[in-house]
């Protein structure tokens, strides 16, 4: 199927590694020129060079810390200047600390909400006027299933995700008339660079061994495993297509049908 993406442009936040890098790669393979941002310059530029060589598309690295409104504005403006237009906005940057409320510090909450929610708000504040002026656009917000499948050991990500999901649905209602459409993609556990740290936090907070913690998420998923980066990226790229315009103001989970309460039961009666 032709996704009708050739010649389009996109911005992807958090594009130096993990899901963001996977999304940028698959967009470029579909013929999209992409601007990516991250806080660390060296890995960002290395990722851009790798993706450009692999796909033959223009990959623009722009260093930005989306906790800063000034950086978010500069990123969108630089991306717009380099690409000429912005057809697709993929908000992906940011993470929030896992753990139960007793272990989360004020700084954990502040960083989580700044990175996983306010960074999205800032980019949208500057990209939406561009999309409106050019006659439309597509926004895909990578959020997370914690916002719709709460878990006490991921309470900070859950709060940030719920806010992002509400934001996505609200803006879909406001901007549909301007031909700007929105969809939220809610991954469950994904095998990225962050996964090992999340397993460590679960082991600590659930007072189980690391080996037991590593089995919890797969055991709560009917297909018996966590998602791979390319699986999430493939869904995002499909949803970024003009063919998906009517998929607006909705959320899609990509978590293998995860039943999170099972993790509590397996914690209380460990696997194996």
Give the pLDDT of residue 267: 59
- Nearest CA-CA partner of 119 in 230, 39, 239, 26: 39
Q: What is the pLDDT of residue 263?
A: 75
Query: What pLDDT does 266 receive?
Result: 60
* The predicted structure's pLDDT at residue 133: 98
Protein fold of 9-195+227-254: Rossmann fold (3.40.50)
Calpha distance 145→208 (Å, rounded): 23
As a whole number of angstroms, the longest Cα–Cα distance in the chain is 58
3-state secondary structure of 215: helix
pLDDT score, position 268: 59
Residue 270 pLDDT greater than 60, yes or no: no
pLDDT band at 265 (very low <50, low <70, confident <90, very high): low
Query: Above 70 in pLDDT, residue 192?
Result: yes
pLDDT at residue 260 greater than cutoff 70: yes
**Mean residue pLDDT across the chain:** 93
Q: What are phi and psi of 59, to 5 degrees?
A: -120, 115
Cα separation of 31 and 240, whole Å? 13
Share of the chain above pLDDT 70, in %: 97
Q: Angle CA(129)–CA(249)–CA(34) in degrees, nearest 5? A: 50
Task: Judge whether residue 269 has pLDDT over 90.
Answer: no
What would the pLDDT profile of 85-112 be if each residue is shown by its tens digit?
999 999 999 888 888 899 899 999 999 9
Structure confidence by residue, pLDDT tens digits, 151-182? 888 899 999 999 999 999 999 999 999 999 99
Contact 217, 170 (CB under 8 A): no
Among 16-30, 103-117, 192-206, 219-233, the range scoring the smallest mean pLDDT is 192-206
pTM value surpassing 0.75: yes
Residue 202 predicted with pLDDT over 90: no
pLDDT in tens, 110-159: 999 998 999 999 999 999 999 999 999 999 999 999 999 998 888 999 99
Q: Where are the domains of the chain?
A: 9-195+227-254
pLDDT of res. 36: 98
């Amino acid at each position: 199927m032709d996704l009708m993406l050739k010649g389009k442009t996109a911005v992807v936040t958090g594009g130096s590694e993990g899901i963001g890098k996977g999304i940028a790669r698959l967009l470029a393979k579909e013929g999209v020129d992409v601007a990516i941002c991250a806080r660390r310059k060296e890995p960002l530029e290395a990722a851009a060079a790798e993706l450009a060589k692999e796909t033959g598309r223009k990959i623009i690295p722009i260093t930005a810390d989306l906790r800063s409104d000034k950086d978010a504005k500069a990123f969108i403006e630089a991306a717009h200047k380099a690409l000429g237009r912005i057809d697709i906005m993929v908000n992906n940057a940011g993470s929030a600390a896992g753990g139960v409320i007793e272990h989360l510090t004020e700084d954990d909450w502040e960083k989580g909400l700044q990175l996983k929610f306010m960074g999205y708000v800032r980019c949208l504040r500057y990209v939406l006027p561009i999309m409106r002026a050019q006659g439309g656009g597509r926004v895909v917000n990578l959020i997370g299933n914690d916002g719709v499948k709460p878990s006490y050991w991921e309470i900070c990500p859950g709060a940030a995700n719920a806010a992002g999901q509400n934001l996505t649905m609200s803006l879909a209602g406001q901007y549909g008339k301007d031909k700007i459409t929105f969809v939220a993609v809610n991954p469950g556990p994904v095998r990225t660079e962050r996964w090992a740290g999340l397993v460590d936090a679960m082991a600590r907070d659930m007072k189980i061994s690391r080996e037991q913690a590593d089995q919890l998420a797969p055991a709560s998923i009917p297909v018996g495993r966590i998602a791979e980066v390319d699986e999430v990226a493939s869904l995002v790229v499909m949803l970024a297509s003009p063919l998906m315009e009517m998929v607006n103001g909705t959320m899609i989970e990509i978590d293998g049908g995860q039943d999170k309460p099972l993790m509590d039961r397996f914690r209380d009666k460990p696997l194996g």
